[in-house]
Amino acid sequence: MKVKKHLLSRHLPVFTYSEEGALLKDQPFVQNDCYYHGYVEGDPESLVALSTCLGGFRGLLQINNVVYEIKPMIVSTKFEHLVYKMESEETRFPIMKPGFVQEHFEFQETGNFTLKQSHFEGWWIHSFFVEMAVVVDYTLYNYFKKNVSKVKEDLFAIVNIVDSIYQVFGMKVLLIGLEFWTQRNLVEIDAVQRALRDFCVWKANNIDARIEHDTTHIFMQKTLRGLSGIGFIAGMCRPHFSCAAVTFANKTLAIIGIAVAHHLGHNLGMTHDTILCVCSAGYNRCIMRHDNPPIAKFSNCSYSFFWGYGVQKAKCLRYTIYTKDIFSRKRCGNGVVEEGEECDCGSFQQCSRDACCLTNCSLSFGSVCAFGLCCKDCKFLPSGEMCRKEVNECDLPEWCNGSSHMCPDDVYVEDGIPCNDISYCYEKRCNDRNAHCRQIFGQTAKNANDNCYRQINTQGDRFGNCGTKGPTYLKCNMSDIFCGRIQCDNVAEIPLLTEHSTMHGTRFNNATCWGTDYHFGMGLPDIGEVRDGTECGPEHVCIGRKCVHISRLDSNCSPTFCNLRGICNNKHHCHCNYKWDPPNCVKRGDGEVFLFLSGSSYIEHSQRHGLPEVVVPLKITYNGSGVKPPGWLSYSLRFGGQRHILHVKVNKLLFSKHLPVFTYTDQHGLTEDQPFVQNDCYYQGYMEGDPESLVALSTCLGGFQGTLQIHNVVYEIKPKSLSTSFEHLLYKMVDDTELPPKRCGLTDEDIARQLKFLQESVNYTLKQSGYIGWWTHRRFLELAVLVDHGRYLYHQSNTSSVQSEVCMVVNGIDNFLQSLDVNVVLVGIEIWSKDNLLPTTNISILLEEFCKWKKNSFNTRLPHDIAHIFIKENYGRLLGLAYVGTVCNQLYNCGVDSFLNDKVQEFAYIVSHEIGHNLGMRHDDNICKCGSKKCIMFPSKTVTTRFSNCSYASYWNVVGKVSCMRISPNPENIFRQTRCGNSVVEEGEECDCGSTYTCAKDPCCQSDCALRVGATCAFGLCCENCTLMPSGTVCRKVENECDLPEWCNGTSYQCPEDVYMQDGTSCTGGGYCYEKRCNERNEQCRKIFGKEARNANENCYREVNSRGDRFGNCGLTARSYIPCGIPDILCGRVQCENVTEIPFLRDHSTVHWTRINGVNCWGTDYHLGMTIPDVGEVKDGTECGANHICIERKCTFMPSFQNDCSPETCNMNGVCNNRQHCHCSSEWDPPHCQEKG
């Protein structure tokens, strides 16, 4: 399970009433990190909704269609909980039927029986938000003894349950406000239906004006004549009907949560289930049944009704205003100019450097401005000074007016103005089909011919249509075929698209038509629709998927209206030429000038960087259909003549949690420290519109610092000094113009010499393949970094500064290696703080000596996969040097990198190149390609972020032979300091009862972590009432027929170690016990493919497992799958039949289906490099013939598997356990169960 991030509004308003009836509003602190949701392993349809706010677990568990309620056991010292099965006779509650009001039910049921009779899961997977307000009536307020805090705790737990139940719809239920009727009920709660109507009227007149919401529910303690509650059907988003009433009387939290979910379902358009409705195979007791059973699943009918109303008509569900992840409190000194402030220069240190703004957020004496595009040196720029350049030929420049620090609003050319010869400007874009295809499918792609549009867009499916109407795709009329979905040709590479996107290719009359899909409800921009304003014929453009005449875009403004001295902008005003004044460009003056300029407006220097552009990143908050996955942040930047959107998230696995930093004292003594390392300010991501883009940023020092790559161009970004408006400098990085260019220190001769003793073979078959997506499974590269004395002095002997720089470099390296699916983890830093321990003047000698020194002085201190030393030494043309193919080889897994300046991202590229050598990569030659002109392993210094096909081939060749990179670093994020009172029994403690408060309730343990007087134990399975349980008491029951029970020995609080039946013992279904499991084929098929599945016949095993591919094999070597020999076919991959539903498997899993001689054979794949359990291999211990079982994919004769222990060894008074000892029956003593005891 994991924490829910969006459950309660950040500023949750709570309304109460004074004794005089006055409305009071409060925004109390709400703990929002203790509400969890998740699933139960082994049941993909399970549901978990728990709260830990009050200690322990409170909430609901659903597994195998049974719902349980869990809550902490009172005064338990062993974290015990009570679990109630909500269907058992002991816990059955009086039947509480739900009610609903249908006379206002405006949504007419479509009668779409196709939907109703379809499968019931996975219909709706895109995001919706229900913003829910709750009113607590006077009866419930009194029931909780007027304790508002206690009511809130229960309400939050209930909303957590409701939110978890609705996750199957991709829906978030967000509690945005509470009201307590603290003096009296404000509507009469007697006749149920009249009470609901009165409450809805009161809500519309009162709550609606105070809180923006989608629905309001009133909770009460009063019984409702046998009803669990009542609500309006299809009332969502309709102010007078978006409400329901639910009673708490005689119900537990889990039951209430299910009842609220039921009545919220009515609001969303769901009626009660009929006999046609099912929510799992043959199971018709679903959440919307008339008697509101304790089940948390929706039926196929409920999905159909939700589609009909919730999706198509309840528009308010698509928007939310509570998705901001950063809360900024208004105050002077936060660097943001807010209401009442003239400026805000930030901290005292920043303000001391600001000539225009004072620390009290007012302008300094003589200053008229402090920030803005029209402010310079604390003065307004003169009228006519350009403050915003045009970004393309459909944009217009803006000028300062001389009286404001702000640049005027951004305007652009009026829609319909011709551009790019045959296209038209529309919403600041020149919409050209060829450019559109290049954006999706790469630089070689172009617009397809007319046949593609005619054939595809007339089909009316998700790949070719002219829009949607409800759940239906609209076919394009012949006049509109060019306005449906874009069709492209000459596609040379497979694009990397966002989640839920699909690319398709179709061949018609020797022409290949490429396009993308878009289906109803996707929360992503549709990159494949023909954009409005795109030309679709002579003087015709696409608008709303229709091909219309250009006159449709006409306005009152025209060149004539501007007296031919200007052009019309998007506001239908004249944008006048230079020296002509608006509004009609009649009079001369300081008017604006219009210039058609396309592309970038800056000139590059013949240096590493061009002239910088000044950019201001603007945070984007996604609403409604544009919601990003949790953890992602989005920013808008304007540079290079265009607006770009970047999406980033924190790089969580970058540094070792306890990062060791080694330095040296004046006496050359080695010291180790584990300083605090800020690890939540390093970000990775991509640029929207370019699936091969790369973003690597650090925000640790304020602002953005790092690398952006888009469309094969690399930029470096860093904060602008002394900026008060979050300005940044963006440099376009260009290749070296030095002659000769700088290069890697490895020559072809060096590589050949190294490979003699490394004996590497090169896979030319791989080299000739494509370069993308060869290796899709995670590897972890543990990197140690040494920093030489020169670099230490460069940072003025500031260890913290060195650490920060190393962390930023490693973040950049990690980004470069992401395309290999390699996570770079910094495991340690050593700084030569006194002097260099090795001579550094010759790079070749240094590499050799560094590896020797590392072997003798460093390897034992800090385990690592690769170690590199950062040197401030100029080696002329050489940038670095490393051994080839030596990762995991502790003698040669090292490299040297020259770091002379402060260009962190440029240096990250250099180190990535040298690490590439460690990973087996040679320098690229003419046959090597990566989709851009040069690749990372090009011999000379270049600007790129991609590895070539040759690099992938060499990497594959090495990584298949080493194992160190397969081991994931410890992902634990919590550092626990050893201390008494943390509820963990540690060395020197007899017990640990936690806080003083919890210890006061503990009868066995004192707050000093010692046992109380008279107590012999405080915890453990063999401890009860502070006393050891008597010998022979069962402390661990059997889990299955292959398990064995354990008993207390009377002298310890711990239960003996868990033991189980000896491998090879017979068990149910003709199977055999093996490692505590009864391995039986039918059961394995049911676990994968559902309850109806069963083991397939031998033909399936023979045909599939003898192929030797990822779907049928008897194991794999480093690079190939092993076909099963005929004796071993039953020990390869399990084959199943009678599969009635597609299983829900983990990422990287594939289900396959093969029909052989009229028999359906179902199985799963497993390929090299997958780091998840293989659910489809035949388990060891599975029967494969008479007296034969499978062991390591071989069918093994049982007698060769037998052990020294047998029932006879135990004198038939016990069984053999996994340690080959006798596990004696009751009243018989070990070791051979001969004597009673």
pLDDT category of residue 58 using cuts at 50, 70 and 90: confident
Q: Is 644 annotated as a binding residue?
A: no
3-state secondary structure of 192: helix
Distances (CA, A) of 343 to 347, 381, 427, 725: 12, 17, 33, 10
What is the tens place of the pLDDT at every residue in 322-372? 433 323 346 687 677 878 888 988 878 788 888 999 988 999 999 999 988
Query: How large a percentage of the chain has pLDDT more than 70?
Result: 79
Amino acid sitting at position 42: G
As a whole number, mean pLDDT of residues 1026-1038 equals: 91
Burial grade of 339 (CB within 10 A; 0-12, 13-18, 19 or more): exposed
- Whether the CB-CB separation of 357 and 722 falls below 8 Å is answered with no
Smallest Cα–Cα separation from 1214: which of 1198, 1193, 1236? 1236
Burial grade of 859 (CB within 10 A; 0-12, 13-18, 19 or more): middle
DSSP state of 61: E
Q: Which contiguous run of DSSP H or E holds residue 1209?
A: none
Q: Is 126 annotated as a binding residue?
A: no
Smallest Cα–Cα separation from 102: which of 235, 257, 274, 245? 235
3-state secondary structure of 1129: helix
pLDDT score of 480 more than 60? yes
Distances (CA, A) of 1069 to 1041, 1065, 1101, 1121: 12, 13, 19, 31
Strand 894-898 and strand 866-871: the pairing is parallel
pLDDT score of 50 more than 80? yes
Output the pLDDT for position 1152: 79
Smallest Cα–Cα separation from 896: which of 921, 914, 877, 876? 914
What is the tens place of the pLDDT at every residue in 800-845? 888 888 888 888 888 888 778 788 888 888 888 888 989 999 999 9
Q: Give all domains of the chain, ordered by start, each with its CATH number.
A: 2-32+126-308 (3.40.390.10), 419-554 (no CATH), 743-753+777-966 (3.40.390.10), 977-1019 (no CATH), 1065-1197 (no CATH), 1204-1236 (2.10.25)
What is the tens place of the pLDDT at every residue in 644-668? 888 888 776 655 555 565 656 676 6
Buried b (16+ CB within 10 A) or exposed e, 1204-1236: ebeeebbeebbbbbbeebbbbeeebeeebbeee
- Whether the CB-CB separation of 198 and 188 falls below 8 Å is answered with yes
Output the pLDDT for position 586: 85
As a whole number, mean pLDDT of residues 528-533 equals: 90
Give yes or no: 914 in active site. Answer: yes
What tokens appear for 417 in the block? 């103005």
Q: Is 923 annotated as a binding residue?
A: yes
The residue from 153, 613, 692, 914 that is catalytic is 914
pLDDT score of 1201 more than 70? no
Query: How large a percentage of the chain has pLDDT more than 90?
Result: 14
What is the tens place of the pLDDT at every residue in 124-159? 445 678 888 899 999 988 998 888 878 887 888 788
pLDDT score of 895 more than 90? yes
Burial grade of 1045 (CB within 10 A; 0-12, 13-18, 19 or more): middle
Spatial separation of the C-alpha atoms in residues 290 and 308, rounded to whole Å: 20
What is the tens place of the pLDDT at every residue in 547-570? 998 888 777 787 778 888 888 888
Output the pLDDT for position 1017: 93
Output the pLDDT for position 672: 65
Spatial separation of the C-alpha atoms in residues 1161 and 1183, rounded to whole Å: 19
Between 345 and 986, the more confident residue is: 345
- Non-local (6+) Cβ contacts of 540 within 8 A are 547, 548, 549, 550
Strands of 1096-1213, DSSP E: 1136-1137, 1151-1156, 1159-1164, 1183-1185, 1188-1191, 1194-1197
Output the pLDDT for position 30: 64
What tokens appear for 10 in the block? 């950040």
- Non-local (6+) Cβ contacts of 92 within 8 A are none
Question: What pTM does this model have?
Answer: 0.36
3-state secondary structure of 649: strand
Q: Which of 327-341, 934-948, 1105-1119, 1126-1140 has the lowest mean pLDDT?
A: 327-341
Q: Phi first, then psi: what are they for 1058, rounded to 5°?
A: -65, 125
Smallest Cα–Cα separation from 49: which of 34, 62, 63, 59? 59
Spatial separation of the C-alpha atoms in residues 907 and 810, rounded to whole Å: 10
- The number of residues making up the chain comes to 1237
Q: Which of 853-862, 885-894, 1045-1054 has the lowest mean pLDDT?
A: 853-862
Q: Is 104 annotated as a binding residue?
A: no
Helix then strand then coil, in percent of the chain rounded to 5, is 20, 25, 55
Q: Phi first, then psi: what are they for 50, rounded to 5°?
A: -130, 150
Q: Which contiguous run of DSSP H or E holds residue 430?
A: strand 429-430
pLDDT category of residue 592 using cuts at 50, 70 and 90: very low
Output the pLDDT for position 61: 84
Q: Please tell me which of 69-83, 527-541, 690-704 the model is most confident about, judged by mean pLDDT.
A: 527-541
Sign of CA dihedral 624, 628, 630, 636: negative
Spatial separation of the C-alpha atoms in residues 268 and 285, rounded to whole Å: 20
Between 659 and 878, the more confident residue is: 878
pLDDT score of 855 more than 90? no
Smallest Cα–Cα separation from 346: which of 734, 839, 721? 721
Query: Among all chains, which residue has been given the structure tokens 């969580």?
Result: 652
Burial grade of 375 (CB within 10 A; 0-12, 13-18, 19 or more): buried
Query: Among all chains, which residue has been given the structure tokens 């803006």?
Result: 398
Spatial separation of the C-alpha atoms in residues 217 and 231, rounded to whole Å: 9
Q: Phi first, then psi: what are they for 849, rounded to 5°?
A: -70, -35
Spatial separation of the C-alpha atoms in residues 578 and 292, rounded to whole Å: 73
Q: Which of 59-63, 544-548, 1229-1233 has the lowest mean pLDDT?
A: 59-63
Distances (CA, A) of 197 to 104, 182, 183, 238, 266: 11, 21, 21, 13, 15
DSSP state of 478: G
Q: Which contiguous run of DSSP H or E holds residue 835?
A: none
Output the pLDDT for position 43: 65
Spatial separation of the C-alpha atoms in residues 47 and 64, rounded to whole Å: 10
Spatial separation of the C-alpha atoms in residues 516 and 436, rounded to whole Å: 12
Q: Which of 404-408, 679-683, 901-905, 954-958 has the lowest mean pLDDT?
A: 679-683
Q: Which contiguous run of DSSP H or E holds residue 757?
A: helix 748-758
Q: Which of 598-607, 811-820, 980-989 has the lowest mean pLDDT?
A: 598-607
Sign of CA dihedral 699, 704, 709, 714: negative
- Non-local (6+) Cβ contacts of 576 within 8 A are 562, 565, 566, 582, 585, 591, 592, 593, 594
pLDDT category of residue 1027 using cuts at 50, 70 and 90: very high
Output the pLDDT for position 356: 93
- Non-local (6+) Cβ contacts of 64 within 8 A are 43, 46
Output the pLDDT for position 391: 84
Sign of CA dihedral 123, 125, 127, 133: positive
pLDDT score of 896 more than 90? yes
Output the pLDDT for position 868: 95
Output the pLDDT for position 772: 36
Buried b (16+ CB within 10 A) or exposed e, 389-409: bbbbbbbbbbbbbeebbebee
Spatial separation of the C-alpha atoms in residues 921 and 485, rounded to whole Å: 42
Q: Is 711 annotated as a binding residue?
A: no
- Compute the mean pLDDT over every residue in the chain, rounded to the nearest whole number: 78
Full DSSP string of 90-115: GGPPPP-EEEEE-TT--SPP---HHH
Q: Is 500 annotated as a binding residue?
A: no
Amino acid sitting at position 488: C
Q: Which of 170-179, 301-310, 1159-1168 has the lowest mean pLDDT?
A: 1159-1168
